[in-house]
Amino acid sequence: MKDIKIRDVKVILTEPDNIRLVIVKIETSEPELYGLGCATFHQRPLAVASAVNDYLKPLLINKSPHNIEDIWQYNYQSSYWKNGSVLNNAISGVDQALWDIKGKIAGLPLYDLFGGKTREAAAVYAHASGKDIKEVEEHFSRLMEEGYHHIRVQVGTPGFAGYGAEGNFGGERHPQDGPKWITQRNSAPQNKQDYNKRTSKNPKGIEGIFEPKPYVRSALKLLDHIRSKFGFEIEILHDVHQRIPPILGVWMAKEVEKYQLFFLEDLFAPEDNDYFRMVRQQCSTPIAMGELYNNPSEYIPMIKDRLIDFIRIHISDIGGLTPAKKLAGLCEAFGVRTAWHGPGDTSPVGHAANLMLDISSWNFGIQEYSIFGERTKEVFPGCPEVKDGFMWPNDKPGLGIEINEELALKFPHKKREMGGGMLIDRRADGSVNRP
């Protein structure tokens, strides 16, 4: 198959379970030989589709799918303005699909092409969240019963919007309303149906009210409760999601040290990276960072100066498997473990790509996992299987996953208010807060 060429590049937009997925399919001159890649950018899917169809596809037709590194560099350099989530996700879809093809040609799963197994399965963590501590505790217990050994915990802040805790939205707020102080908060929607009802009636959606200190107090109470209730046998994680002022983040990192977190995630935004040095000087809380990085200049200093313990890069956001393999090697040299981003808006193809790296990288740490809906499993035969807190490869060639294209097209992307952009919470004074 030395003479095979790229015959066509397709973008498949599908939404089996209310998550807009973007899949790239590369077809070759060899009948039935194709590859799949994840290019999902949930908030900007059409921009990614355009980048593939209008800009990358013309560069790819009649190219050899064997030359993955050359194709990656050519695609990356061809726009002149490099990096950025739209372009990188588009390149990632192409890159993963080419690796999938290479694995199929070799008749080997990609982890074998990446050096072979360093482990049989990858430990994963699931999310336990709720509007209050009791609800989180119940969710935590269920995940323990299902065999998870690593669990991320998030709780709502009474009366405020909260990250990772569905149901606490902090009431409706429009920008023109002006300040809304703590004593003037509206009641939050009590359930998902109420939220959907309000959202459908309000073209501007719902903007919650978020205040940092009440959130930190709620998070600390939750961590204390979980450790008191369940002890230290289960590893727990928490995501700040860069929503608090940096100096408050430094204080929080010190306060959670006694709870022995597996890691504390996204303590600061990328533009506040210098604050990580203060955390290192004052405590030993393990730090995870990276899901918002898409530029090497953001993450290389963090790694070489050993300011983080886990790299949380979203591999589609840096351009796919080709740069991710290099990043994993760099991290190994500096004692940083991998923890690739794997939320609900990562397709099963993206999870399969994560798994290939997890299995083959000696410095693997943990893998975020989002439980697939039944329709998603039908659309993507070969979804990675999770059992007893581990994700297992199926040992099929390439990424080991397929797509039922006919079924996928039965679940087109739904139209959303504001194009589907993320609703951003505001502070009590009306100013925009970080996500």
**Identified catalytic residue from 34, 148, 163, 293:** 163
CA-to-CA dists, residue 159 to 109, 204, 383, angstroms: 49, 20, 39
Tell me the three state secondary structure of residue 9.
strand
**Identified catalytic residue from 150, 241, 341, 351:** 241
Q: Estimate to the nearest angstrom the gap between the alpha carbon of 194 and the chain centroid.
A: 27
Q: Which residues contact 196 (CB under 8 A, 6 or more apart)?
A: none
- Helical H runs in 42-121? 45-50, 57-60, 68-77, 85-106, 110-113
For the packed helices 212-230 and 246-255, what is the interaxial angle rounded to 10 degrees?
20
111 a catalytic residue: no
3-state helix, strand, coil in the chain (%, to 5): 40, 15, 45
Residue with tokens 């949930």: 42
CA distance 403 to 38: 12
Is the dihedral angle over the CA atoms 132, 133, 134, 139 positive or is it negative?
Answer: positive
174 a catalytic residue: no
Locate 214 and state its tokens.
Answer: 């009440």
State the virtual CA torsion across 1, 351, 296, 279 in degrees, nearest 10. -160
CA distance 169 to 279: 30
**DSSP tally for the chain: helices H, then strands E:** 15, 13
CA distance 239 to 163: 8
Say if CB 319 and CB 91 are below 8 A apart. yes
Positions marked active-site: 163, 241
